[in-house]
Structure 1
């Protein structure tokens, strides 16, 4: 079986979005590691009783990990039928996670909302996934 015969021609864009998301997760993870060292928060402690900035850095990473599996599923389903549109939406979502984190890193949790535009990306791939499901069921 040749992958080019199974996946849509433009699915390569989706693969690059997955790679971009890997870069984003790695960056967020390194930021937590650096903050652990800077603020003296040892493993397995998840949050600090003393260092609010550490908690903000940790939460930015943790929240991203909490939503990442669902995003991956919908991103993949959407990209199988709509690879270019899904990839654009994926880039929006991944980029928004940087904005979300950088806002959180200020120590003011309200500034995490700088990444709220990511809802365009996540809701977009959910809607496309619903469209794929309806096509498979013969409704569309």
Structure 2
């Protein structure tokens, strides 16, 4: 038995939201790079040492930028996959949630790098957007599986 999936005309919005993630990743990379340079943390070191970060605010902020970027990369596979799956049935809602997730990730990075760990709360709503995409993804999967029962 084969399955044919016809994408809705609005699926282009899903591609647009996914493309925004590439730019958010670039933003994270540039942000982290600028903080790395200011902290004088050389490659291949991923972070400044705890001692260095305690003594040097630039090293502390670099660690925050690096952690914000790592958190973005950790969440990206789940979110982008959920976006593409959920977009099959809910393209506009999924694209909107994806765009909101991208914006909130920028806010998260800015808050975290400027104000330390507590500053990340300003963009922490990204978790809700990601969860909503996961739920929509599950609903989409269910809609394809249900007729097979």
Same fold (TM over 0.5): yes
Structure 1 residue corresponding to 2:86, chosen from 62, 74, 78: 78
Cα offsets for 1:15-67 (capped at 9, x unmatched): 11111111111011011111121111111100002111110011111110011
Give the drift of 1:6. 4.4
Question: Which structure 1 residue ranges, 5 or more long, are not aligned?
Answer: none
Match of 1:48 in 2: 48
Q: Distance in 2 between matches of 1:23 and 1:120?
A: 21
Q: Distance in 2 between matches of 1:43 and 1:10?
A: 43
Question: Which structure 2 residue ranges, 5 or more long, are not aligned?
Answer: 53-58
Q: Distance in 1 between matches of 2:146 and 2:17?
A: 29
- Could you tell me whether the CA contact under 8 Å between 1:78 and 1:132 is conserved in 2? yes
Deviating 4+ runs (over 3 angstroms): none
Q: Does 1:124 align with 2:132?
A: yes
Larger-gyration structure (1/2): 2
Q: TM-score, normalised by structure 2?
A: 0.85
Match of 1:10 in 2: 10
Q: How many residues align?
A: 135
Match of 1:115 in 2: 123
